[in-house]
């Protein structure tokens, strides 16, 4: 009577003979829910039969013939490991679900085992040999599943690193002067980031983690020591921006087209400086609501010169008097000469307002009635 070892050699020969039927059954099982995998078997059936399938049968019988204490349970050789790892990579690159691929492997394993079991029964292999064969079939498929999973995960990591690198490059291009529309679009395509029609720059003194709360719709950027992001027109997500940037010490620039975003970098830096000096308040500060203040304070030296010039009539007064008259002049300009409104604003009696205005007219003369001089005074003391 033939031994199991002799029967296993016959098993390999018999399985090779029925291999076309085995692969056809696999193709049939896959055709319903996995038609693309079934089509792959159709287009390269001969190559699969002569390559991977024959290797599978040979290694299966080899494993079943080996004492488990002596041999490794790894059935797939390095070449097959590499092939199925590449299949996993392709699954990620094509946007396919890994679970779908692994399920197809399991279907193939069930069909393969059905053929192996039928052939083993026909050859009268012992129950022990059949049990070893069953274990070997599913260990083999497990090896291939692990290889494809590894390839899928590695492709994910490679893709994420490439995306991050390209997005960093896009951020640099968007903030660089003289970046053309074509260069920006090409960089956005590489980074797989959809360019909005209008964008705004966010700069913050906070951490990358805080700015990262903006979510995937924002493109992270760095400018010197500052962290930030390029976001869609703030009018679209104003509430979401305000919530995400709370506590980050951030300013949000005005909405512009991507080609001119770099021109808002200096504006955002000025905004951050004014936040630090408490000229601007807000959390975050939306600069499109504060452009007048930014214009006035953009160059503090010029503003100081203007103040010294237009407020020269008050320069020689004692500090207390100078401060009271400056506050009155500021309120009078802001309320367009309404003395009652000035009194309410400063919490003083209207007669006190009249007295102070009289004193101001003594000091400034006709300048208080000159529209241009009043504009200069507004710039100097109302921001």
CA atoms within 13 A on the CB side of 30: 27
Backbone angles phi, psi at 228, to 5 degrees: -175, -165
In the block, which residue shows the tokens 């100097």? 380
Q: Which of 109, 219, 98 is nearest to 151 (CA)?
A: 98
Alpha helices in 176-318 (DSSP H): 181-191, 208-211, 238-244, 265-276, 291-297, 300-310
Q: Could you tell me the fold of the domain covering 300-381?
A: Arc Repressor Mutant, subunit A (1.10.10)
The CA–CA distances, whole Å, from 383 to 195, 274, 292, 297, 374 equal 36, 12, 8, 8, 14
**SS3 category, 253:** coil
362/325 Cα distance (integer angstroms) = 12
List % helix, strand, coil for the chain (3-state, nearest 5): 70, 5, 25
Query: If 0-12 CB within 10 Å is exposed, 13-18 middle and 19+ buried, where does residue 47 land?
Result: exposed
User: For the domain with range 196-297, which CATH number is right: 1.10.3470, 2.30.30, 3.30.70, 2.60.40?
Assistant: 3.30.70
Would you write out the chain's pLDDT as a tens digit for each of its 383 residues? 456 666 777 777 777 777 777 777 777 877 776 676 766 666 655 555 555 555 667 767 776 666 554 444 455 567 777 878 888 888 887 878 888 888 888 888 888 888 888 888 888 888 887 888 888 888 888 888 888 888 888 887 777 777 778 888 898 899 888 788 889 989 888 888 888 889 999 998 766 777 777 877 788 888 887 888 999 888 887 888 888 888 888 999 999 999 999 999 999 999 999 998 888 888 899 999 988 888 888 877 888 888 888 899 999 999 999 999 999 999 999 999 899 999 999 999 999 999 999 999 999 998 899 999 888 898 888 76
Global pTM value = 0.55
Q: Are strands 285-286 and 250-252 parallel, antiparallel or unpaired?
A: parallel
Query: Are 285 and 251 a contacting pair, CB within 8 Å?
Result: yes
227/362 Cα distance (integer angstroms) = 52
200/13 Cα distance (integer angstroms) = 70
Backbone angles phi, psi at 9, to 5 degrees: -65, -40
| Domain residue ranges in the chain | 4-159, 196-297, 300-381
Q: Could you tell me the fold of the domain covering 4-159?
A: Globin-like (1.10.490)
């Amino acid at each position: 009577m033939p031994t199991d070892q002799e029967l296993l050699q016959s098993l390999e020969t018999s399985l090779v003979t029925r291999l076309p039927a085995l692969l056809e059954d696999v193709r049939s099982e896959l055709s319903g829910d996995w038609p693309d995998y079934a089509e792959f078997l159709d287009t390269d059936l001969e190559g699969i039969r002569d390559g991977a399938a024959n290797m599978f049968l040979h290694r299966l019988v080899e494993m079943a013939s080996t004492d488990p204490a002596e041999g490794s349970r790894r059935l797939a050789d390095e070449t097959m490991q590499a092939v199925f790892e590449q299949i996993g990579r392709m699954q990620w690159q094509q946007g396919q679900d890994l679970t779908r691929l692994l399920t197809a492997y399991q279907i193939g394993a069930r069909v393969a085992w059905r053929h192996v079991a039928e052939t083993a029964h026909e050859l009268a292999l012992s129950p022990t040999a059949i049990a070893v064969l069953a274990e070997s079939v599913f260990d083999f498929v497990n090896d291939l599943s692990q290889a494809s999973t590894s390839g899928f995960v590695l492709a994910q990591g490679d893709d994420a690193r490439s995306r991050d690198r390209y997005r960093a490059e896009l951020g640099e291009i968007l903030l660089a002067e003289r970046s053309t529309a074509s260069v920006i679009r090409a960089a956005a395509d590489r980074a797989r980031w959809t360019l909005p029609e209008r964008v705004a720059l966010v700069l913050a003194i906070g951490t990358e983690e805080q700015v990262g709360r903006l979510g995937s719709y924002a493109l992270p950027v760095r400018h010197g020591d500052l962290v930030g992001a390029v976001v869609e027109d703030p009018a679209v997500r104003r509430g979401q921006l305000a919530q995400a940037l709370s506590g980050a010490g951030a300013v949000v620039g005005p909405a512009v087209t991507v080609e001119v975003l770099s021109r808002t970098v200096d504006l955002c830096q000025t905004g951050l400086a004014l936040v630090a000096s408490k000229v601007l308040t807000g959390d975050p500060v939306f600069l499109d609501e504060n452009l007048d203040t930014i214009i006035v304070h953009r160059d503090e030296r010029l503003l100081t010169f203007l103040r010294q010039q237009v407020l020269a009539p008050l320069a020689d007064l004692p500090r207390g008097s100078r401060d009271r008259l400056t506050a009155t002049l500021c309120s009078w300009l802001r309320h367009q000469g309404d003395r009652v409104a000035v009194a309410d604003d400063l919490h003083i009696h209207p007669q006190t307002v009249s007295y102070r205005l009289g004193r101001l007219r003594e000091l400034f003369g006709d300048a208080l009635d000159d529209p241009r001089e009043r504009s200069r005074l507004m710039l100097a003391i109302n921001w």
